[in-house]
């Protein structure tokens, strides 16, 4: 099963209580593509960068098995740039700069080699762009996964709702689920979001794990408690990438497979936050993943009798 990824390929400048970076490699699609490569899943990225984007980063993605034919290079343009500063708790951050640059007039083109993708992961981007990608697929993929955020709820709600209607799995965080549904209870929020379209609703709760809702059933996982969180940037994208890649690996989109996929996504995100940007994700192997998944199992398995 091939995974088609749409999202930003970007430069990020990040400041956390532990340090600061200049412009480094970032972007939602970058994290997702790297997650797929750790899982040995064939993926392709549809995105756009400027002439200032290093060929070495494109080569790095390509060498790792990510199809980059769909990454358009606008020679005279500048790559999307995002800069953020995390607060001391690392759970909240301020966006300092967003320079949309070449993403402003992005007209996604899907390479013929990716038209048969069975899973489409729409990374956080303008919902109009996400929708246009789905419309450009000759055949509807088996599964459409949508990642979005409050920014689009504030600025492009109508088109976001249109996108949500065509989505199978939505991943959003708890505050965004509350905003989208108008409900405080996450149970009620998930119910309302189901009614908007998605049969599967994933609500991420940062350091408190994630919930998966489907047809009245609910599955919960914790986040792995880590001694050190260095930089949370890309955790959500890595989570979505790990989740989608596991489904692609297992060639299944059932609720049972999604439960395991949630663990994989969460385990992979726990690596991303250990170093700045994509650095840690570029280091880890399938064996590292298996070790961490084992830790997850030990954390959550118990027998009890009264």
Provide CB contacts within 8 A for 208, sequence distance 6+: 222, 223
Q: Tell me which of 4, 5, 8, 198 binds ligand AMP, using CB under 6 A.
A: 8
- Interface with ligand AMP, residue 27, by CB under 6 A: yes
Binding mask 108-137 for ligand AMP (x = CB under 6 A): ----------------xx------------
Q: Binding residue for ligand AMP (CB under 6 A) from 65, 74, 78, 98?
A: 98
Closer CB to ligand AMP, 200 or 276, in the complex: 276
- Closer residue to ligand AMP (CB): 127 or 194: 127
Sign of the C-alpha dihedral computed for residues 63, 67, 69 and 71 taken in this order: negative
Q: What angle do CA 199, 211, 264 make, to 5 degrees?
A: 95
Dig out the tokens for 104 from the structure.
């402003």
Asked if residue 12 binds ligand AMP (CB under 6 A), the reply is yes
> Any contact of residue 272 with ligand AMP (CB under 6 A)?
no
Report, in Å, the least distance between residue 68 CB and ligand AMP. 17
Q: Which residues contact 22 (CB under 8 A, 6 or more apart)?
A: 13
Identify the residue among 57, 168, 176, 237 touching ligand AMP (CB under 6 A): 237
Instruction: Decide: is 28 part of the binding site for ligand AMP (CB under 6 A).
Output: yes
Give CB contacts under 8 A, 24+ apart, made by 109-112: 109/46, 109/70, 109/72, 109/136, 110/4, 110/46, 110/70, 110/136, 110/137, 111/44, 111/46, 111/67, 111/69, 111/70
Q: Are 72 and 32 in contact (CB under 8 A)?
A: no
Q: Which stretch binds ligand AMP (CB under 6 A): 20-28, 33-41, 154-162, 292-300?
A: 20-28
Which positions touch ligand AMP (CB under 6 A)? 8, 10, 12, 26-28, 82, 98, 124-125, 151, 233-237
């Amino acid at each position: 099963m091939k995974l088609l990824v749409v999202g930003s390929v970007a430069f990020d400048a990040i400041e956390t209580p532990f340090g600061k970076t200049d412009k480094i490699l970032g972007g939602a699609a970058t994290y997702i593509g790297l997650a797929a490569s750790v899982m040995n899943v064939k993926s392709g990225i549809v995105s756009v960068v400027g002439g200032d984007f290093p060929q070495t980063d494109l080569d790095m993605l390509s060498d790792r098995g990510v199809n980059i034919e769909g990454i358009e290079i606008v020679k005279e343009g500048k790559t999307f740039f995002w800069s953020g500063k995390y607060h001391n708790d690392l759970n909240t951050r301020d966006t300092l700069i967003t320079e949309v640059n070449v993403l402003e007039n992005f007209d996604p083109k899907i390479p013929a080699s990716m038209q048969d993708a069975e899973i489409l992961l729409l990374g956080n981007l303008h919902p109009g762009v996400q929708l246009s990608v789905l419309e450009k697929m000759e055949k509807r993929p088996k599964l459409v996964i949508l990642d979005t955020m409050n920014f689009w709820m504030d600025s492009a709600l109508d088109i976001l709702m249109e996108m949500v209607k065509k989505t199978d799995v939505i991943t959003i965080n708890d505050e965004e689920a509350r905003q989208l549904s108008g409900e405080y209870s996450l149970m009620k929020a998930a119910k309302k979001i189901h009614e908007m379209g998605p049969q599967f609703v994933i609500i991420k709760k940062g350091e408190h794990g994630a919930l998966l809702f489907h047809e009245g059933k609910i599955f919960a996982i914790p986040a792995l408690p880590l001694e050190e969180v260095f930089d949370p940037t890309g955790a959500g994208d890595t989570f979505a990438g790990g989740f989608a890649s596991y489904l692609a690996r297992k060639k299944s989109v059932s609720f049972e497979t999604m439960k395991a996929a949630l663990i994989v996504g969460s385990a992979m995100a726990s690596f991303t936050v250990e170093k700045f940007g994509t650095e840690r994700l570029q280091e880890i192997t399938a064996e590292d993943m298996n070790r961490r998944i084992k830790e997850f199992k030990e954390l959550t398995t118990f027998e009890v009798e009264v």
